Amino acid sequence: MLKSFHIGGIHPKENKLSAGMAIQPIAVPAQVIIPLSQHIGAPCQPVVKKGDKVKVGTLIGKSVGFVSAQIYSSVSGTVLKIDKAMDASGYKRDAVFIKVEEDEWEEHIDRSEALVTECNLTAKEILDKIAAAGIVGMGGATFPTHVKLTPPPGMKAEVLIINGVECEPYLTSDHQLMMEKSDEILVGITIVMKALNVQKAIIGIENNKKDAVALFTQKAKAYPGIGVQPLKVQYPQGGEKQLIDALTGRQVPSGALPISVGAVVQNVGTLFAVYEAVQKNKPLVERVVTVTGKEVQRPCNLRARIGTPLTTLIDAAGGVPESTGKVISGGPMMGKALASIDIPVTKGTSGILIVPTLEAKRKAMKDCIRCGKCVQVCPMGLNPTLLMTLTEYEVWDRAEKNAITDCIECGSCSYTCPADRPLLDYIRLGKGKVNGIIRARKN
């Protein structure tokens, strides 16, 4: 029996065009731009200046505060300048520009392919190493991993949940990583289990990746406490709360963190990064990026250094198609449409999706026919059409009462609406407003 979450859900066309394409390392570009804010939390302080020589793995941005993640140079070369550069958000933010010379790595980094399974560090030491390596949630959320692995006082994790769902259509970077780095991921899981002091871990994989399910089921036998659970192909199966529900039957209450039901969720990409940081002393300097789209010549999975221009990746996939109307960082359901492709790959770039103009334009919105389909599909059990109306008319107290802040912005409502109503646009707006009101009330 395939497990799944229990409320709502949709099944968008999977379009995994780059499935099965081996991860190709892409050549180091002539120049990289490494933003100092690639995570949720405080931006880093630069610790290099113009003219400084750096190697791969040299710290260039130091985190200030706990909720932050260090930034390392992904190339060797000379710092050109520290200046504003546009990132996926469309805003210009501080970034370190580095001119690439050779490919020299810091000496302490183990660059061999050999699998290191032994880990004799204490939980504290593991967490420090993860924090030092600048690891963030690699699924795209970019929340600093060491923070997530540090439960608030009085709370204790019982189970580690590994997100190998990749429920976003088109994206295959996690899938391919699972196929190629299964041992490393499993070691990463044991390390995180140790850091959390939990005896149990469940890997959730959507059943459209049967090869990954089979591979992990077979390999996990050697690792006590690690189980594999195939999941129904249903979006948003990889949503944190949905995944916990599917795998443990527990539902995280409104406004609470997963730890409140004893769960900590980590993406497979993050666990691979943890492996590299802890076992190989390698900070987060590269990641796997899917470059895909219906008109893209060679949909592929690339391993790129952080700071590589997106254009370099797109060129490796055959260039920008003539028909391009929209370029998305991430998947089609929750990804961000880019104002420009002259931006660098960052820690959260899971994919680049190129959408033809014909599919990029929204259709005109019609009046709501009250079919209730948005209510049926909402995985949080909300009433999207009501929340949209309440936002339109700025009825914030009722929006709050109807749990607008529970929205996970998965987009299932807008996706489903036969009247092409931009439900999520409004709900996102209302959610921000209501969150502001709640914060103001607390102060």
Partner 1 sequence: MEQKLIVSPSPHVHSGDTIPRNMYAVLIALIPAFLVALYTFRLDALLITALSVLFCVGFEYLIVRFVMKKEPAILDGSAIITGVLLAFNVPSNLPVWILALGALFAIGVVKLSFGGLGNNIFNPAIAGRIFLLISFPAQMTSWPATAIAGEATDAVSSATVLGLLKHSPEALPALQQMFLGFESGSLGEMSAAALLLGLVYLLWRRVITWHIPFTILATVALFTGILFLIDPLPQYNPLIHLFSGGLMLGAVFMATDYVTSPLTKKGMIIYGAGIGFITVAIRLWGAYPEGISFAILLMNAFTPLINTYTTPKRFGEAVKHG
Q: What is the largest CA-CA distance in the chain?
A: 64
For the bound state, the minimum distance from the C-beta of residue 216 to partner 1, rounded and expressed in Å, comes to 26
Q: Rule CB under 8 A: is residue 328 a binding residue for partner 1?
A: yes
Q: Rule CB under 8 A: is residue 356 a binding residue for partner 1?
A: no
Task: Give the separation between CA 308 and CA 81, rounded to whole angstroms.
Answer: 16
Q: Rule CB under 8 A: is residue 324 a binding residue for partner 1?
A: yes
Q: Rule CB under 8 A: is residue 141 a binding residue for partner 1?
A: no
Tokens of 223: 């690792």
For the bound state, the minimum distance from the C-beta of residue 236 to partner 1, rounded and expressed in Å, comes to 11
Contacts of partner 1 in 172-231 (CB under 8 A)? none
Q: Rule CB under 8 A: is residue 442 a binding residue for partner 1?
A: no
For the bound state, the minimum distance from the C-beta of residue 440 to partner 1, rounded and expressed in Å, comes to 24
Residue that is written with structure tokens 């443990």 in the block: 248
What is the phi/psi pair of residue 139, to 5°? -70, -10
Q: Rule CB under 8 A: is residue 21 a binding residue for partner 1?
A: no
Q: Rule CB under 8 A: is residue 439 a binding residue for partner 1?
A: no
For the bound state, the minimum distance from the C-beta of residue 250 to partner 1, rounded and expressed in Å, comes to 5
Q: Tell me the DSSP string of 12-37.
A: -----TTTTPPPEEPPP-SEEEEES-
CB-nearer residue toward partner 1: 316 or 328: 328
Count other C-beta atoms under 10 Å from residue 84's C-beta: 11
* Cis amide linkage into residue 344, ω under 30° from 0: no
Q: Rule CB under 8 A: is residue 441 a binding residue for partner 1?
A: no
For the bound state, the minimum distance from the C-beta of residue 325 to partner 1, rounded and expressed in Å, comes to 5
Task: Give the separation between CA 370 and CA 415, rounded to whole angstroms.
Answer: 15
Task: Give the separation between CA 76 and CA 56, rounded to whole angstroms.
Answer: 5
Q: Rule CB under 8 A: is residue 415 a binding residue for partner 1?
A: yes
| Binding residue (CB under 8 A) for partner 1 from 46, 134, 164, 411 | 411
| Binding residue (CB under 8 A) for partner 1 from 372, 394, 397, 436 | 372
* Cis amide linkage into residue 236, ω under 30° from 0: yes
Contacts of partner 1 in 22-61 (CB under 8 A)? none
Contacts of partner 1 in 92-131 (CB under 8 A)? none
CA-nearest of 245, 268, 253 to 176 is 268
